[in-house]
Amino acid sequence: MRRAGIDALVAASASNVYYVSDYYSEGTALGCAMQGYGLLPLDGEPALVAPLSEADLVVESRTKIRDVLYYGCLNAGISKNSGSDVTKGIIAATREKAERTPCESLAKVVAARGLTKKTIAVDGGISPETWEQIKKGLPDARLVDGTKLLSIIRAVKTPEEVEAIARATEITEKSMEDALEIAQVGIAELDLAQMFSYSVAEDGGRVTLTFFGAGERSAYPNPIPTTYQLAKGDLMRMRLGSTVSHYNGIVSRTAAIGQPDAEAEKRLKTVIDAQEAAFDAVRPGAKIGEVYAAVKRALGSHGIGECSESVGHCTGIDCVEGPTVGPEEEALVEEGMVLSVDVPYLELGWGGIQLADTVLVTKKGLRFLTATERTLYVL
């Protein structure tokens, strides 16, 4: 923040507010015309702005931010039995003076910290209308876009973040294999998706991604599960994900219904070689664009002239975080980044093969957070 000349940073998207406060606004994430803010001054105490209707989420988050300002109202009565500590916390929130709008609350906490004439970076998780309201409430402040700054801050993970991503990845892979336990000729893609979702929930995760595409649908970019029934000779491409504590674990694998033919084996080797090239290129100090170039060269050596616009990305609170592994990405690989290296080989009318693996960048090399074998599951 100091290098960027920023006096205060305002987190506004559900993910960024969670990152700075441990409070995750379900309403903001779902687009329910709800807004929360996390204010991080360069000097001074942080503050949190939240809707009173999500006071339970704030209290249950056990946020370390002590200055919480609510807005709006909560339509709930209060009984004589005050209940648990969480209930008591919600009741205490209802007794505080609540502002009418989130922008009014934000202006109030900014003024309380003497920042009304300072440079404030606001992330992009707001609508143009909200941006104008913030400008109106802070007419003397210099407001700048803080989206890239927050992305840079979030790119390097703490050990606690890595642990959450690793656990989510573990749940995703286990649930994938649970789904594959019932995979056979005649089973529908929807049945597999339901088994995957059940297994994720049983292990305490939340499903974020359930793509099962079999047969020619394995080449579809986004194969939402249907009633299509697996047939002998099909390839089935899976893109799956879940979260733990709002941190994402994602994996892509491919299965063959029956013994795969030589062409499928050949294309699998192409994907594995491209992934290996990426892993060799991922080292602290390298440009992310160089990782993409390594994948493109590997694919070219197998006679594939085209390459996806992106062959991976950082992951964390959001499934796809920056920087992405693209051809023009100038950002550097840093120790502590968690990258998903994702290489698809899709041919419409034939089928698709895809491998996506998640790795942590360390001084000593890569630590794989995905544990399942990078091969074709033969069912």
What string of DSSP letters covers 240-259?
EEEEETTEEEEEEEEEESSS
Residues 6+ apart with CB under 8 A from 313: 320, 321, 322, 323, 324, 325, 339, 340, 342
Q: How far apart are CA 377 and CA 288, in angstroms?
A: 31
pLDDT value at 80 more than 80: no
Tokens of 116: 């009304």
pLDDT value at 155 more than 80: yes
The answer to whether the 8-154 and 159-378 domains have the same CATH topology is: no
* Fold entry, domain 159-378: Creatine Amidinohydrolase (3.90.230)
Q: Is 336 helix (H, G, I), strand (E, B) or coil?
A: coil
User: pLDDT at position 210, please?
Assistant: 98
**Taking the C-alpha atoms of 321, 21, 68 and 7 in order, what is their torsion angle to the nearest 10 degrees?**
-70
Superfamily of domain 8-154: Creatinase/prolidase N-terminal domain (3.40.350.10)
Mean pLDDT for the stretch of residues 367-376: 96
- The H-assigned helical ranges of the chain are 14-21, 26-29, 55-61, 85-94, 102-112, 128-137, 147-155, 159-181, 189-202, 262-281, 288-301
Torsion angles phi and psi, residue 37, rounded to 5: -135, 145
pLDDT in tens, 300-335: 999 987 778 899 999 999 999 999 999 989 999 999
User: pLDDT at position 98, please?
Assistant: 86
Sequence ranges of the domains in the chain: 8-154, 159-378
Q: How far apart are CA 307 and CA 328, in angstroms?
A: 13
pLDDT in tens, 240-258: 999 999 999 999 999 999 9
According to DSSP, the residues that pair with 252 across neighbouring strands are 239, 356
Residue in this structure with the two tokens 């992934």, named with its chain if needed: 275
User: pLDDT at position 297, please?
Assistant: 95
Residue pair 165/208 in contact (Cβ under 8 Å)? The answer is no
Average pLDDT of the chain, as a whole number: 94
Residues 6+ apart with CB under 8 A from 283: 333, 361, 365
